[in-house]
A and B are shown apart, each in its own frame.
Chain A
Amino acid sequence: MNRLIILPVLVPLTTALIMLLLPRRIAVHRLLGVLSTLLLSVVSVILLNSVLSGGILSLQAGGWAAPFGITMVVDTFSCIMLAMASLIGLTTAIYSIGSVDEKQEHNFYHPLIQLLLMGINGAFLTGDIFNLYVWFEVMLISSFVLLVLEGKPEQFEGAIKYVTLNLLSSAIFLAAVGILYGMAGTLNMADLAMRLPMLEHRELLSVAAILFLITFGIKAAVFPLFFWLPASYHTPHVAVSAIFAGLLTKVGVYAIIRFFTTIFTLESTPFIHHILLWVSAFTMVTGVLGAVAQYDLRKLLSFHIISQIGYMIFAIAIQSPLAIAGGLLFIVHNIAAKTNLFYLSGIIRLISGSWNLRQIGGLYATYPLLGLLFLVPALALAGIPPLSGFWAKLTVIQAGLEAQQWLAVSVALMVSILTLYSMIKIWNEAFLKDNPLSGDEGQRGREYHELSAGKKIALIGPAIILAMFTIVSGLWFEPFFILAEGASLELLDAGIYSKAVTGGIP
């Protein structure tokens, strides 16, 4: 069973290689993309099952025992993230068939998506800090290429900001890794979790912790390190922005949770949690205020990503079992809802011919079902019951009340209202108001109508799948909560993790 752990990395890698060997067979690329992500979903469900029944699994690469070799670990948290990554991978693979044009597919669009998934999965699996750096770079280099794949002039500005800030964060990550290694003499996460509490020279511990916080803060787009995100997410192809919006920032959040629960505990670096609390409040507010001012559909949604990251950081800052469980639920809900909104924005763009809300209108009259489909993730994001977002937000806020963080809780509630406001704004502008371009009615929806029926299904299908997920995880919330609670208890007890990886020998 342990050997299965390598599959979430191996499957996309093999798929990408096969695709690269058949560079002109676009139909094969599409098929392989869907098959590989289907296989990934199956693997992650099997892994989740075996972790739930048999505890944390680990694999020592090359047979080198734990602190010396590279370890791959799956606990419940990694399993949840892997499952979400494969769900988004699958829906994106289907959506791409409908939306990505053939020129880009010939430019190795599908293999790049597979490599991106490989980097993301690797980051979720690894139990070694330096290895995490390597997976981050795998993920980054694929995302760099995907960002400018179309080569349009308007894509470069965002790409330069994205590339520069991410390279800067890599350099900071490296420095932090060096400092931590110099202090503890190990980079294995489980080994570090055991050694850090009994370290003699701990002067540099806070320096390393802060450097890690900055690195992952850049990746997760928290205040005040988020500026690359709204600058770059609105220019690439919409399938690319959807998968970025769903997964890339969450990898940063994953790393923050992993580091500041398992490795740097509340006792060893207490100040981190104060910083996280302030950061979370500012992230929520600046994100949503940025969104309120926007009229570009994707820019608006990009700012919302930041605002939602704030809730996750808030959960980490409180760090009670309930809060972490709420944070995990929030991540799961947000990945599905956010990606779905980007998919739908792509469909809206095809129908109306514009990203600008001022130039879109009257969609509800012509496409009422699309409107209903849009309402599901939009209301979930604002936290309207009984959708998934409500429960996630409720859990986080309840944890905040229990921890008596009145200020941050009231900020979170205010931000919810503003989120609802900007979702209503999209609804009013795109769906309800009259079409501002009444003169050239012939232009409207031409791009969309010219698509074949198969492509239309490929566009709408993923949105329906994710909307179903949002509804189902809202209505049958209990199993999700039990899962998240189990994962959070596992995260907060670093002993379980260390024992599973090293066998209890420091």
Chain B
Amino acid sequence: MRVLLPVIIGLLYATGIYLILRRSMVKVIFGLVVLGHAANLMIFTVGRLTKGSPAFVPHGATGIAEPFADPLPQALILTAIVIGFGIQAFTIALFKKTCLSLKTEDLDEMRNTDQLEKESP
């Protein structure tokens, strides 16, 4: 796991960055989702992996023996996933509305659609 997870995180970052550089809006959304996952896995890995020793105090004992798995990174990730989920839902709705309103999903074509008024009266 110590080797595998960093490789996976690297791949996820590479995929995410590749995807958000694409012109298609759908791919940009996927890219953002993947980048979020990469960050979450990164917290998980950097917060030190400890296998098979959860942070529970055994019955009758007064404390737990080191090393035990730190539960805090998992709590952080859980929060980040929930927040990310909500924001991704909004992003998808926004992108869909944009697509319907501007009749394109090519980001390169969205360069001058924000003119509030035409130049000449």
Contacts and interface: CB of A to CB of B under 8 A. Distances in A.
| Interface of chain B, main secondary structure | helix
The DSSP consensus for interface residues of chain A is: helix
A167 B73 CA distance: 20
Contact of B97 (A134, A156, A157, A168): A156
B114 to A, nearest CB: 4
Interface string A229-256: 0010011000000000000000000000
Nearest to A153: B101
Contact of B20 (A140, A164, A296): A164
Interface residues of B, number: 45
B114 A235 contact: yes
Contacts of A234: 114, 116
A171 B91 CA distance: 15
Contacts of B95: 160
B27 to A, nearest CB: 12
Interface string B71-94: 011001001100110110011001
Contact of A141 (B16, B90, B97): B90
A151 B97 contact: yes
Contacts of B79: 130, 134
Interface stretch (A26-34, A39-47, A174-182, A418-426): A174-182
B91 A167 contact: yes
Interface residues of A, number: 44
B121 interface: yes
A288 to B, nearest CB: 22
A145 B87 CA distance: 11
A355 interface: yes
Contact of A178 (B16, B73, B83, B115): B73
Interface string A161-174: 00110011011101
Interface of B: 16, 20, 25, 28, 32, 35-36, 38-40, 42-48, 70, 72-73, 76, 79-80, 83-84, 86-87, 90-91, 94-95, 97-98, 101-102, 107, 110-111, 113-117, 119, 121
Given A144-B94, A157-B110, 4 more contacts: A141-B86, A157-B114, A163-B94, A358-B119
Interface of A: 130, 133-134, 137, 140-141, 144-145, 148, 151, 153-160, 163-164, 167-168, 170-172, 174-175, 177-179, 181-182, 185, 231, 234-235, 296, 354-356, 358-359, 436-437
